Amino acid sequence: MEKKNFLCTGCQKKYPLDRTFPRCDDCFEPLEVEITQGEISKKRNYISNNYTLNQNILDRYASFYPLSRINHKLSLREGFTPLIPTNQLSSILDLDNLYLKNETVNPTWSFKDRGTFVCLQHAKNLGYTRIGTVSSGNMAVSVAAYGARANMQTFILVSSDMPLEKIQPILIYNPVLIKVKGDYGQLYYESLKIGQETGIYFLNSDVPFRVEGSKSISFEICEQLGYDVPEYVVIPTSSGGNSRGIIKGFLEFYQQGLINRLPRIICVQLEGCAPIYQAWKNKDEKISPVQEPKAIDHAIANPYPPSGNELLRKLRMYDGMVTTVSDNEALESQVLLAKEGIFAQPAAAVSIAAIKKLRANGIIDKKNKCVAIITGSGLKYSGILNKHSFGSETCTLKTMKEKIVSILEK
Ligand SMILES: [Zn+2]
């Protein structure tokens, strides 16, 4: 494979791939691995020669990843998630071709596992024995799980007001969990700095090899649709790292000639914390921090997304767009997804809420093929279920038949 570098997404300055600090020294924008063109040139060969049930994403797409070594034992079989055609949702949303990329079935129930697995390879190859992350939920669980599997000391930094309900699923993997008092947005940058000084590789939300992990979502969508690229791919967006990876994945397949066009990317934020949308709407080049974020699900409420500026640049370059939905629309969509048998967290359901809105105002056409990325499971956020009003029935053993018959007669 041709030697690759990191490229600054802001000023294009090059850095060697053995660097761990993920931002540019000059302009401080995020670094990204240069576009990688895999060695497989014909999709026919690509499908038939490489497929086995025991693969992981770094087996299947190895030539698209500039890693000097790959330790397959670290895999928990992340990725290869189902792309599910919808039944009821298609008619509810009046859309002929709606697919759900169900990331809730990853090993720790969110898309984060793809990036954690790929990042861990980079950390191991550089000789790191300690990893860490800053997270309010999904990424903390993912890094703690993979850190345990890799037998690496793992530091999880969380906000001091994080509820026990979210902390316990992290602690089961026995990481060093530190609750930090202070500005959560600043924690991202401080952790990177302290990581450099103390020999901890921080796998934060948009570090280059985490973004590389997200590429595999696009690779899989292309394969699952027989290389018939959807018109729209709709992504819940917080830090911007996952959206960047998905855009890059489609670009790499496009530049390799495996697909003949790019999908239109739609990033979705919650109204109460939408810094990328605000900058998009105001035609600003840079995002401004949200001072008082108010959003129902912290997984999609980063008040100062570290990849915000770069995502704006990419969306403008490739005809993408950003939209918002309300907390209530996210909750309503959580129920809509359940109609298809999928239990997503509200942060993941926003992609459905956005499609509903864009379909209603005519931006998405009935015949357009749409893929909604369902980023994470609802299981880890059971507290949010109190916001819904679900019904149930009660009876005794004696009155059970009577009860069931009365329901059947309704
Ligand atoms: Zn730069």
Distance, CA 72 to ligand 1 centroid (Å)?
Answer: 33
Distance, CA 406 to ligand 1 centroid (Å)?
Answer: 68
Domain of residue 305, residue span: 83-109+208-387
Residue 89's alpha-carbon distances to 79, 238, 352, 370, 390, in angstroms, are 24, 25, 9, 12, 20
Could you tell me if residue 172 is inside a domain? no
Which one is predicted more confidently, 184 or 140? 140
Domains identified in the chain, total number: 1
For residues 37-48, average pLDDT: 53
Could you tell me if residue 335 is inside a domain? yes
Distance, CA 9 to ligand 1 centroid (Å)?
Answer: 7
Could you tell me if residue 126 is inside a domain? no
Distance, CA 269 to ligand 1 centroid (Å)?
Answer: 26
Residue 45's alpha-carbon distances to 80, 240, 253, 275, in angstroms, are 19, 33, 14, 43
Q: Percent of the chain scored above 90 by pLDDT?
A: 87
Could you tell me if residue 102 is inside a domain? yes
User: Encoding tokens for residue 330?
Assistant: 């996210």
With 0.85 as the threshold, say if the pTM is over it: yes
Residue 277, pLDDT score? 98
Does position 44 have pLDDT exceeding 50, yes or no? no
Closest CA to 237 of 157, 301, 187: 301
Residue 175's alpha-carbon distances to 104, 122, 153, 168, 250, in angstroms, are 23, 20, 7, 11, 35
Question: Mean of the per-residue pLDDT values for the chain?
Answer: 94
Distance, CA 24 to ligand 1 centroid (Å)?
Answer: 5
Could you tell me if residue 45 is inside a domain? no
Could you tell me if residue 265 is inside a domain? yes
At 396, is the secondary structure helix, strand, or coil? coil
Could you tell me if residue 313 is inside a domain? yes
Contact by Cβ (8 Å): 23, 11: no
Distance, CA 310 to ligand 1 centroid (Å)?
Answer: 11
Distance, CA 23 to ligand 1 centroid (Å)?
Answer: 8
User: Encoding tokens for residue 292?
Assistant: 């008082």
Distance, CA 117 to ligand 1 centroid (Å)?
Answer: 26
Which pLDDT tens digit goes with each residue over 288-329?
Answer: 999 999 988 888 989 999 999 999 999 999 999 999 999 999
Distance, CA 13 to ligand 1 centroid (Å)?
Answer: 6
The DSSP-derived string for 331-377 is HHHHHHHHTTT--B-HHHHHHHHHHHHHHHTTSS-TT-EEEEEE-BB
The CA distance from 152 to 157, in Å, is 16
Provide φ and ψ at 239, rounded to 5°.
-75, -25
Q: The CATH number of the domain where 270 resides is what?
A: 3.40.50.1100
Could you tell me if residue 248 is inside a domain? yes
Distance, CA 7 to ligand 1 centroid (Å)?
Answer: 8
Distance, CA 195 to ligand 1 centroid (Å)?
Answer: 21
